[in-house]
Amino acid sequence: MSVTIHGASVKRIEDPRLIRGEGTYLANRSVEGQLWMLPVRSDVPHALVTSVDTEAASTMPGVVAVFTHVDFADHLMPIDAPKQPESTRRPLITDRARFVGDIVAVVVAESPQQARDAADAVWPEYEMLNAVVDIDTAFEDAAPVLFPELGTNAIYQDRGTDEVPDLHSDAEVVVSARIVHQRLAAMPLEPNNALSIPRPDGGVDIWAGTQQVSGHRNTISTALGIDRDLVHVKVPDMGGGFGAKIYCYPEQVLTAAIALRLQRPVRWHESRSENLKAMTHGRAQMHDVEVGATRDGRITSLRVMATQDAGAYPLYGAYMPNFTQRMASGPYDIPRIEFRWRSAVTNTTPVHAYRGAGRPEATVDLERTIDMLAVELGLDPADVRRRNFIKPEQFPYTTATGELYDSGDYAAALDRALELVDYPAVRTEQQRRRNAGERHQLGIGIGSYVEVTAPTGRKDWGRVEVAETGKVTIYSGASSHGHSHETTFSQIVASVLKVGLEDISFVQGDTDAIVRGGGTMGSRSMQMAGTALVRAGQSVLEKARAIVAHEAEASIDDVVQFDDGRIGVTGVPDTGRTLAEVAVLANDPALLPADTEPGLDAEDIWIQQEASFAFGTHISVTDVDTETGDVRLVSHVAVDDCGTIFNRMVVDGQVHGGIAQGVGQALFEEFRYDEAANPTSGNLTSYLMPTAVNLPSITIDHTETPTPQNSLGAKGIGEAGTIGATPAVMNAVLDAITHLGVTHLDMPLTPSRVWHALHRSE
């Protein structure tokens, strides 16, 4: 069976074993002699740690060891390399706790229950310090400073584009808003974990949930101070990541360090409540936005001042506004943009990448203020978007912030979404309800977006091997955690080699088998790892042609791949060789052309020169109960463009999941702290997430605008749903109540927040 490369909705190869409960998740693995590690976390947001009493815990049943930073002072290096070395995070805190969840000590015991009991007996003594939780306050001279060596909480200041004098000089109207992009928890189905097993050669094998297996190996080897070759990281099946599992966590480093110290396997599994406060958070930006326009709705200028809450340690999140800056123009032809940003640390959970990573913030800024502009000018919001879109003939297009857009037809996606939602009919029903003064008001929200995919790290690796049995093994530097790589990567290689999917095995997430790889993040997998695999497959095919040409004493130009996958001399079917037969020839040096290495295999490193830019339009329809503030999603339409589509079923699945997360930010999710920086969202009763009950039937369609940046024409899709859905839902809710005097609300648009806004406007 051969598989076409383009558009076939092949069912996921991964699913049967997962449905049967045969997934190889880390919790399913057990190693003889394993120990259990449990962190003892700070329960105060900011304090000097004056002492840690471990004596009672050390003598409890089953306890093997209790470690503090003193035990690893000379043997465990920092795990981060931020702009300022003084703010580096160490696996175990030394003298200061900076957020609730910081690791004071770790207990190692024979069982998880014994570890829990002993952890309760570890007694840290604190000298309490004032905490900072408000991001504006963090920049003030009088604010408590998290890193005294720095003398400030500011990690970045005065970053971004140049200031633009007379920015709004051509504007006839300026609308402005303060837009809060609230702090979110990633909440993967499977929390963080690690299992480290010492090796006789002084190395360590580590099983861990990570989106970037090579990055984890590099971080752990650096922290341990040993050669990379001694660190072998493997990723089993993984229950979600959403950007938060790019980061190599202190606990994962500690399992490896302790396994080497005790010469026994050490495992760690995070609880859900631990996950909420210790896994990195996302978003946490606050923007002051101004949009200038002419009276006919033409946008002339944009100003954004963005402030990023980096949390207690300046990880990648501290730099996240740079990605927001890159996408500040969205799908619009905006002549002048001024985007300034800054970031600071606070006594909260560190912020890192989260699905969309800076791009949703830019989209919400634009889509919210464009709706406000439409209201101000008395124009239809769809018309305002259409008249400002970058036109197809303008590509490649360089934005005012310097981003090079590859290709697009933004109006086509908007028009298709308007058609699918039956926009005139919904507007008519909305007006009927308004005229009748009904309790339930209807809102229509549009979210048009463009997002950068493969924004950085545009280099990846793939390998294809053909065995003498004809079976094919493919190796990828990407690592799936719900992305269907096993299916889609097998599909594209099967199409090149004309073999069945059942003949392909997929290897990922193993640093001993994977030479290199950029991991799975930034909507990069198909265009980067997929292109590398296709190129490797094509090289295998060329090598097979050369071998058959040599055997048949024919010119390689006369050797072709037949429709059934055999390789032979054109016009002479009897000369056709199966891949299995060619693989046998390839392993006999006497039968190979000169200067040809044995084996029917090839690898490729694909370097993509520029990013690609996916785009689309989402439209949401909401019903708002004006007496209770309750919001119900009536329908949601998504029209996305990720370039060439290789498996529609997989692409639609990615969009479905992204929409759910976008709805979550718009209506439900927010990680909160009290004024003293204590978390108040410690479990799933206080951190609310959408369920199937909260989601309507979703209509999904696509346009296809291939990118010239890679031979597949592929752009990313993994984050599109999250980016498009959030502003669409937000705008729909506010569109339902704008005529009642509510101009803007911060997310999440909970019933309480909506009700209070309506009450204040009376």
Report angle CA 93, 99, 103 to the nearest 5 degrees.
Answer: 35
Residues 290, 285: Cα–Cα separation, whole Å? 16
Cβ–Cβ < 8 Å for 135, 286: yes
Number of neighbours of residue 598 by Cβ within 10 angstroms: 12
Query: From 3.40.50.300, 3.55.50.30, 3.40.640.10, 3.30.365.10, which CATH number describes the 15-22+459-607 domain?
Result: 3.30.365.10
Residues 705, 613: Cα–Cα separation, whole Å? 10
What pLDDT digit, counting tens, does each position of 221-254 carry?
A: 999 999 999 999 999 999 999 999 999 999 999 9
The answer to whether domain 15-22+459-607 and domain 281-455+610-760 are alike in fold is yes
- In three-state secondary structure terms, 303 is strand
> What tokens were used for 229?
């070759």
Residue 42: DSSP 8-state? -
In the predicted structure, residue 403 carries a pLDDT above the cut 50 = yes
Give the residue, 75 or 282, on which the prediction is more confident: 282
Name residue 523's amino acid.
Answer: S
> What tokens were used for 312?
């207690």
Question: Which stretch of DSSP H or E encloses residue 49?
Answer: strand 47-53
Give the residue, 472 or 4, on which the prediction is more confident: 472
Residues 69, 51: Cα–Cα separation, whole Å? 11
C-alpha torsion 559→565→571→572, nearest 10? 90
End-to-end CA distance of the chain: 67
Residue 577: DSSP 8-state? B
What pLDDT digit, counting tens, does each position of 553-567 carry?
A: 999 999 999 999 999
pLDDT at 2: 45
Which phi and psi angles does 284 have, rounded to 5°?
60, 45
Question: Which stretch of DSSP H or E encloses residue 580?
Answer: helix 579-586
What pLDDT digit, counting tens, does each position of 117-164 carry?
A: 999 999 999 999 999 999 999 999 999 999 999 999 999 999 999 999
Cβ–Cβ < 8 Å for 669, 610: no
Which phi and psi angles does 445 have, rounded to 5°?
-120, 135
Average pLDDT, the chain: 95
Give the residue, 81 or 357, on which the prediction is more confident: 357
Strands in 503-627 per DSSP E: 504-507, 559-561, 567-569, 600-607, 612-625
Contact residues for 653 (Cβ-Cβ < 8 A; gap 6+): 484
Give how far the C-alpha of residue 631 lies from the chain's centroid of Cα atoms, to the nearest Å. Answer: 27
Residues 165, 160: Cα–Cα separation, whole Å? 15
Residues 12, 725: Cα–Cα separation, whole Å? 25
Residue 200: DSSP 8-state? T
How many Å is the maximal CA-CA distance in the chain? Answer: 90
Cβ–Cβ < 8 Å for 351, 282: yes
Mean pLDDT of 304-322: 96
Residues 678, 389: Cα–Cα separation, whole Å? 44
In the predicted structure, residue 481 carries a pLDDT above the cut 80 = yes
Residue 145: DSSP 8-state? P
Give how far the C-alpha of residue 526 lies from the chain's centroid of Cα atoms, to the nearest Å. Answer: 14
Beta strand 504-507 pairing with 472-476: parallel
pLDDT at 628: 97
> What tokens were used for 405?
């857009």
In the predicted structure, residue 440 carries a pLDDT above the cut 60 = yes
What pLDDT digit, counting tens, does each position of 31-49 carry?
A: 999 999 999 999 999 999 9
What pLDDT digit, counting tens, does each position of 701-731 carry?
A: 999 999 999 999 999 999 999 999 999 999 9
Per domain, the residue ranges of the chain are 15-22+459-607, 32-129+192-269, 281-455+610-760
What pLDDT digit, counting tens, does each position of 194-207 carry?
A: 999 999 999 999 99
Q: How many helices (H) and strands (E) does the chain have?
A: 19, 27
H-only helix segments in 618-647: none
Residue whose pair of structure tokens reads 């120990």 in the numeric block: 35
pLDDT at 301: 98
In the predicted structure, residue 89 carries a pLDDT above the cut 80 = yes
For CA atoms 408, 411, 414, 415, give the dihedral sign. Answer: negative
What pLDDT digit, counting tens, does each position of 517-548 carry?
A: 899 999 999 999 999 999 999 999 999 999 99
Mean pLDDT of 50-58: 97
Cβ–Cβ < 8 Å for 336, 401: no
**78-92, 259-273, 295-309, range with the lowest pLDDT:** 78-92
Number of neighbours of residue 305 by Cβ within 10 angstroms: 17
Cβ–Cβ < 8 Å for 477, 529: yes
In the predicted structure, residue 761 carries a pLDDT above the cut 90 = no
pLDDT at 82: 59
Residue 95 exposed, middle or buried by CB count within 10 Å (0-12, 13-18, 19+)? exposed
pLDDT at 3: 45
Residues 385, 448: Cα–Cα separation, whole Å? 8
Residues 474, 267: Cα–Cα separation, whole Å? 30
> What tokens were used for 145?
């400073």
**What is 281-455+610-760's CATH number?**
3.30.365.10
Strand partners, 291: 175, 302
Contact residues for 146 (Cβ-Cβ < 8 A; gap 6+): 46, 87, 96, 98, 132, 153, 312, 345, 346, 347
Q: Is the peptide bond before 748 cis (omega within 30 degrees of 0)?
A: yes
Residues 107, 63: Cα–Cα separation, whole Å? 7
Residues 699, 676: Cα–Cα separation, whole Å? 44
Number of neighbours of residue 572 by Cβ within 10 angstroms: 12
Which phi and psi angles does 413 have, rounded to 5°?
-70, -40
Residue whose pair of structure tokens reads 């076939």 in the numeric block: 8
Residues 371, 366: Cα–Cα separation, whole Å? 9
Q: Residue 1: pLDDT band by 50, 70, 90 thresholds?
A: very low
Residues 723, 666: Cα–Cα separation, whole Å? 11
Contact residues for 55 (Cβ-Cβ < 8 A; gap 6+): none
What pLDDT digit, counting tens, does each position of 169-179 carry?
A: 999 999 999 99
> What tokens were used for 222?
């650096």
Residue 655: DSSP 8-state? H
What's the full length of the chain, in residues?
762
pTM across the whole model: 0.96
Cβ–Cβ < 8 Å for 669, 694: no
**What is 32-129+192-269's CATH number?**
3.90.1170.50
Number of neighbours of residue 751 by Cβ within 10 angstroms: 14
In the predicted structure, residue 395 carries a pLDDT above the cut 50 = yes
